[in-house]
A and B are shown apart, each in its own frame.
Chain A
Amino acid sequence: MNTTLFGITALIYLLCIAWLGYRGYRHTTDHQDYLLAGRSVHPFVMAMSYGAAFISTSAIVGFGGIAGQFGMGLLWLSFMNIAVGIFVAFVFFGTRTRRIGKALNAHTFPEFIGNRFQSRGMKIFIALIIFIFMPLYSSVVLIGAARFLQSVLHMNYHAALLLFAAVVAVYVIFGGLKGVMYVDALMGTVMVVGLLALLVMSYWLLGGVTEAHRELTAMAPLVQERLPTEAALGHLGWTAMPRFNSVWWWTLVSSLMLGVGIGALAQPQLAVRFMTVRSSRELSRATLIGSLFILFTVGSAYVVGALSNVFFYHSDKGIAEGVSGKLAIEAAGGNPDIIIPLFISQALPEVVLYIFSLTLLSAAMSTLSSLFHVTGSSIGHDLFRNLVRSESDSISITRMGVVFGIIISLILGFTLPPGIIARGTAIFFGVCAAAFLPAYAAALYWRRATAAGVWASMGTGVGVSLFGLFFLHRKESAAMGLCEMLTGKTELISTFPWPYVDTMIYSLPLSVLALIAVSIWTSPPPAPFLDECFQKKTASGK
């Protein structure tokens, strides 16, 4: 790769980001602009921003690499991303979030839930969850981007970490959500162009869609021959689902399809975007744009990841000397994270490498900026104001919260070992889904839900999730070591499939049950307040 040429391209890109960030800064005059982009964002900007915040580098490189290792079964995850993460989210959650959020004068996710259930303590609790776990997730994205800059531009890792954080920090701190969403729209467009080019080029080089799939299907016997570890986990070929009830089947279905697929509904950084548009018309338009965005980005990454096996294995598909004859995971030295970058650098023209490099940087920056903004608004707007019981609201307090959140993420990026950080992300996703999803859905659809019911649901969700992560789900419990320290075993129940069942499979239903049981048992909220929330029209048309 020509480092100078990429450096110049990246510089032009950074100047575009600076201009968009400045535009956000110039148009930000009050806290509603800073937290909700003035509630008047264009549907294209909203959809691209939602998608770009949703899809991080790990979705492209990480899951794309897993598709290279295990195959196209991951397309069920992209289906869930579109069906649940876009259609259900925009149509069933988005329209009501926007309307009720406006009626309740909510600017953030904690404020939305807290105002809906008339509880200051709830705002503080949700903000605390975000404050504790989101910097862990931010640091994963930050580290991934710094490692990428280190390998492409040959930069010092720590300098890359600081530089990347500083660039994102500037437009988040000054531009607020307007700056973040304008930049996200640019980045989302780059992501679509980069990944669509990658997909089209891969199919074209392999002789078309059906021919490419046929070649990959014909390689299935190589799994037994060359990949005994993957075969033992249930891998049956790159165009086949894993063996039913195998380890990989449980991981794909429970952790990826359901855990990641459904978990996206309760992500605070995504939910807040529904409140940035003027009406449900913008959300309908964004549904169309967002679905295409997800198909062209993650759908492309998963297909290309699997097809990379054909390129790596056959010597006549444009692969450089020394790689041909290997399967993707073999060429990557056993590390699935390297499959996609290796494939890009070895199999495709250099111009695609530049586009793809910008695509990866965009994916990381857009996710990171959203996380910084939500963490900062939780600290400044929700936590600080409610703890000191201050009614005053200023952009300065929220900006200070953003700075504080960025500093914590940086410190974690510098200090914590990668294994712990990666597990921290899993904890954040698990806790978010089980703790927030039932409360969020009830806030939108169930008038009978009470504050006590929501407290019970969130408590159950957090408690059961953490118990599952520390004591039942092997991937996390083994890494954390608490279960082994107390019981001498890496997990409490070693009987298959329990060590591989995602915690959300049991924590979410228990959280829902707690919400329903306690809500029914306690007094319903006052009807006038609910009418105000749901903006029920009276007979006089008021």
Chain B
Amino acid sequence: MLGLGDGWVAAAFIANILIVLICVVYGVLNWNRSDEEEETKENSKS
């Protein structure tokens, strides 16, 4: 895969891209969410 000789190195290559995607998605989803809103949600649950 991707010209890489070993599955583990190919996995590392893809894992790097995937973890960055996770960070990007997390950042975008929480772009405007702050502690205060989190606390409000926790309080309303209780």
Contact A214 to B16, CB < 8 A, known contacts A280-B34, A541-B43: no
> How many B residues, CB 8 Å from partner?
31
Option from A82, A236, A279 in Cβ contact (under 8 Å) with B20: A82
* Binary B-proximity of A214-251 (CB < 8 A = 1, otherwise 0): 11110010000000000000001101110000000000
Q: Is the CB of A87 within 8 A of B3?
A: no
Q: Is A79's CB within 8 Å of the partner chain B?
A: yes
A212, CB-defined interface residue at 8 Å? yes
Report yes or no: B27 in contact with A281, Cβ–Cβ below 8 A.
Answer: no
Taken together as a complex, chains A and B put the C-alpha atoms of A73 and B15 apart, in Å, by 12
Alpha-carbon distance between A159 and B20 when the two chains are bound, in angstroms: 41
Inter-chain contact B9/A279, CB cutoff 8 Å: no
- Alpha-carbon distance A500/B24, docked complex (angstroms): 36
Q: CA–CA, A95 to B30, complex, Å? A: 12
Q: Which of A82, A86, A99, A211 is the one whose CB lies under 8 Å from B3?
A: A211
Interface residues of B in 7-42 (CB under 8 A from A): 8-9, 12-13, 15-17, 19-20, 22-24, 26-28, 30-36, 38-39, 42
- Does A299 touch B at the CB level, under 8 Å? yes
A210 within 8 A of B: yes
Quick one: given A211-B3, A288-B28, are A280 and B9 in contact (CB under 8 Å)? no
Chain B residues lying within 8 Å of A288, measured Cβ to Cβ, are 23-24, 26-28
For the complex, is A314 an interface residue (Cβ under 8 Å from B)? no
Q: Is the CB of A214 within 8 A of B34?
A: no
Q: Is A295 an interface residue (CB 8 A)?
A: yes
- Chain A's nearest CB lies how many Å from the CB of B22? 7
Any B CB within 8 A of the CB of A499 = no
Given A280-B34, A281-B32, A541-B43, A239 and B9 contact (CB-CB distance below 8 Å):
yes
> Known interface pairs A217-B4, A291-B19. Does A537 touch B33 (Cβ–Cβ under 8 Å)?
no
* One of A72, A78, A82 near B9 (C-beta < 8 A): A72
Whole-angstrom CA separation of A214 from B2 in the bound complex: 8
Q: How far, in angstroms, from A306 to B1 measured CA to CA in the complex?
A: 17
Q: Are B16 and A284 in contact (CB under 8 A)?
A: no
* Contacts known (A299-B16, A537-B43); A213 close to B23, Cβ less than 8 A: no
| Cβ contact within 8 Å between A76 and B19 | no
Whether the pair B24, A281 counts as a contact (CB closer than 8 A) is no
Chain A residue nearest to B12 (CB atoms) is A75
Pairwise interchain contact B31-A281, C-beta atoms closer than 8 A: yes
Given A72-B13, A75-B12, A76-B12, also A240-B23 (CB < 8 A)? no
Asked whether any CB of chain B lies closer than 8 Å to the CB of A320, the reply is no
A residues lining the B interface (CB < 8 Å): 71-73, 75-76, 78-79, 82-83, 86-87, 91, 95, 98-99, 209-217, 220, 236-237, 239-241, 279-281, 284-292, 295, 299, 535, 537, 541
Sample 15 A-B pairs with CB under 8 A, ordered by A number. A72-B9, A75-B13, A79-B19, A83-B19, A215-B3, A217-B3, A239-B9, A240-B9, A291-B20, A291-B24, A292-B23, A295-B16, A295-B17, A537-B43, A541-B43
- Please give 6 more A-B residue pairs, beta carbons under 8 A apart, in addition to A212-B3, A280-B30: A75-B15, A281-B31, A281-B35, A288-B23, A292-B23, A295-B17
